[in-house]
Structures are given as C-alpha cells and as structure tokens.
Amino acid sequence: MKLCVQKLVLFSAVVLLVSLTSPSMAQTDEPYKGPWLGPARYTISIADTLPEVVKELRRVTKVFISGPHGPRPEPPGQTQVGGWDEVPVSLEFEDATLSVILYDLCSQVGLVYEAAGGGRHVTLRVGDPEIDGRPTVRVGEYTLRIGRMSVVHDRHLRFRWGAEPTGEPSVEDILAVSMTIVADTQDALEQYAGIAAGPTGVTDTGAVCDGPTHAVERSMWGSLRGREGPLSHDANLRLDAPPDDATELARLEGNLMLFEHVQQTRVKIPPGSEGKTIEKDGINCVVKKWSHEGSTVRVELESTLPLGEPATSIGRRTCSLRLVTAKGAQLPGGGSTSGGTQNGRTTWRQSMQFSLPEGDDTVDHLELTVTERGEANKLLPFVFEHVPLP
C-alpha cells in the first residue's frame, strides 16, 4: 500500500542553445533554437497542412515526429478555431539541419518540440518558441537546465511474506529535481560522468535541503540520453523537502563529475564487408551480417577487444555504432547490444538497424567507437539561484 502526494513545478519551453561544434558533430553555419538533433542536413519544399508537412518530414528525415496532441488553443480574440488538420505550413529549405527546419515550423504555428532517443523521436507540443522559463546555468562546456521540481510526501507500509506489517508506516518527504545537462560537443559529452554526491539547496527561509550522499551517475546507454537531443543527459536529484513556508531555493549548488581522461578508438567498416574481419589497435570486428534494402541498413557485428585496465568497470568502457553516409550524415541506429568478458578479452555483439534520409542513401562506412574512461575525479561546480518551489 502506498500513498504519494506531490506538489510540482514544471519549467517548460524550447530553449536557445549555444552553437555545438566538434569534429564529429558540427553545427556552425546556421543560427537555430531548440534541441540540437544532429548534423544531418535535408532539402524540403512543401506548402500544406500541418499533418501533411509532418508526414513529409518523417519521410524525408526518417525521424519519428509526433504531435501536437489535444485540441488547438484559441488565439486571443477568437472563440472558434479549426483543428490542427486545418493549419497551413510552408517549408522551403535546402541543405538545412532538422533543428533549423523544425524551429521554423514551430514559429509558424505556435509549437515547440522535444527530443528523445538520441534525437530519433521528436514530439511537437503547444508553446511559444521564444519563451524559456526554465532555470538555466552555464558551466564550462555544459548547459544545465531544471525542467521539473516536485515536493513528495511519501507514506508507505510494506507487507511481506514471512512477517507481519507491524510498527508505524515510514514517512519520507523529498524535493525531487529533474535536470538536463547539455554538452557543447561530443567530446564534452563523453567526459561527463554525472553529478557528485552532496548537492545542497538553501531556501529563502534559510532552511537547508541536503542532497544524496551518493553520486548520480549518467547512463551510458545512448537510448537513455536526455530530452534535448544526442548531446544531452537527464539527471534526477532527491533532496530533503523544504518547509511549507519556503517559496524558492535561494541557491541550489553541486558539482558535475568529469572523467579525468577519455580515449576513443574508431574503427571504419566499409560496405560489403559481410563475413570479413576488420582489425585496428587490437580490436577485431567480424561483420556477421550487412544488408541494404531501400532506405534501411541492417548490421550484425561482433567486436572483440582486450580487457583493458581497470577491468571493464561499468560505465568506464562503452562500444557504440553509427552509420556515415556519402554526404556526411552520422546516423545512430536502433537495436540491441550485449557483451561479456572471457579469457582476458571483452566481446560485444550488436544488432542494429539504420534508416537513411531521403536523397542521401549511399553508405560511406559503418563506424565502431570504443570509448575508454579514467576515474571520474574531476569536479565542476554549478550554482542555480532563485529557483521557485512548488
């Protein structure tokens, strides 16, 4: 039995991001707003209703775009409006990123967009793209934003086999803070390790809200990256609940954890390599399957690499795949990854599917990236000020 009562504040809007530049993911020549969705560029020319334009964007980009959901809001001074299927949209772009295209679409019809799955799933929702109400701080090569705060009064009584439910129900009052950390570059993203133990909030009444005594580590799985595209990660903090008379956190401070060093080895695998073994720096890649039908590429890869020092601790070594097209688009895949260690070697087995964008269906190569990380012993302090409480 569990009773959970929450008060929460949501901070929502599309955000103005800094330019993201790196050798692997560059976006330097076009100003844009909203979550960055990758370097791939598209050409589109269409004037139609919103649903038809979204349908065409999905076809051209192979990104799953959904929404908006629910009724269309009434503009000021109007009492009756048509549905979303009556809203006209016009897009005219040549060689533009999806971030730029979507921001233009959103500006025309009063929408914003959010990203998930490393930028492969985009949701449109009602909002003003020029407004960003989220608390934001900038530290080093990272932008931190708070998206939600909840005061949770949690009372629960556990019933277990072999014991009677005796004693008083336990009570836990917490302040839950949901944050997104956006890196400027892919290299900065790889260096980010999480949030160090001991974040602390101080309310406007002077009360101290202590945070967890353990670190909040980032997820190393690409599918669990943050709501602002492939260069972001989400983090959830649990602090002591503030007193009822507090109206804001005067300060919320903590430290980002960074790995002391990050070393990456990239192995390029050309098309037509099925049944072949590609070797680089002690990494052996066996291409079990490679098929290309229409705009879909399916790959099964088995990669064996030395155990390394220290011995493949969780989060210290990762193995990822992406497909690079002839026009330079770098596409993440969807599928499964499994691995194990035996006789001093680590073996990763990956089965991935990639969707090629319209007009860019020639594959240049498949790229395997093995990332080795050192200790997460670098700290980068951050401070939020005057954050409203629910």
- Tens place of pLDDT for every residue, the chain, 390 residues? 444 445 556 554 433 322 222 323 333 334 456 888 877 788 899 999 999 999 999 988 888 899 898 888 876 655 556 788 889 999 999 988 899 999 999 999 999 998 876 677 899 999 998 888 889 999 999 999 999 999 887 666 778 888 877 655 555 788 999 999 999 887 888 889 899 998 999 999 999 999 888 888 876 655 456 778 878 888 999 999 999 999 999 999 999 999 887 888 899 999 989 999 999 988 999 999 999 988 889 999 999 887 654 434 445 777 888 899 988 888 877 777 787 777 777 888 999 888 887 778 899 999 998 888 888 889 999 999 999 999
| Torsion-angle region of 34 (φ positive above 0: left; ψ -120 to 50: alpha; else: beta) | left
Confidence (pLDDT) at 231: 83
Q: What is the CATH number of domain 262-373?
A: 2.60.40
Instruction: Give the three-state DSSP class for 44.
Output: strand
Domain ranges of the chain: 17-126, 136-260+376-388, 262-373
Instruction: Give dist(CA 264, CA 190) in Å, integer.
Output: 10
Q: Are 38 and 119 in contact (CB under 8 A)?
A: yes
Same fold, 17-126 and 136-260+376-388: no
Per DSSP, the chain holds a count of helices (H) and strands (E) of 3, 25
DSSP per-residue letters across 170-191: EEEEEEEEEEEEEESSHHHHHH
Is domain 136-260+376-388 given the CATH code 1.10.150 in the classification?
no
Each residue of 1-12: b (16+ CB within 10 Å) or e?
eeeeeeeeeebe
pLDDT the model gives residue 229: 80
Helix (H) or strand (E) holding 108: helix 98-109
The predicted structure's pLDDT at residue 80: 54
* CA atoms in the 13 A half-sphere facing the CB of 330: 19
Q: CB neighbours of 10 closer than 8 A, spacing ≥ 6?
A: 147, 148
Please choose, from the candidates 238, 233, 201, 231, the residue with its C-alpha nearest in 3D space to the C-alpha of residue 217: 233
Query: For residue 252, which of 263, 261, 242 has the smallest C-alpha distance?
Result: 242
Q: What CATH architecture applies to the domain 17-126? A: 3-Layer(bab) Sandwich (3.55)
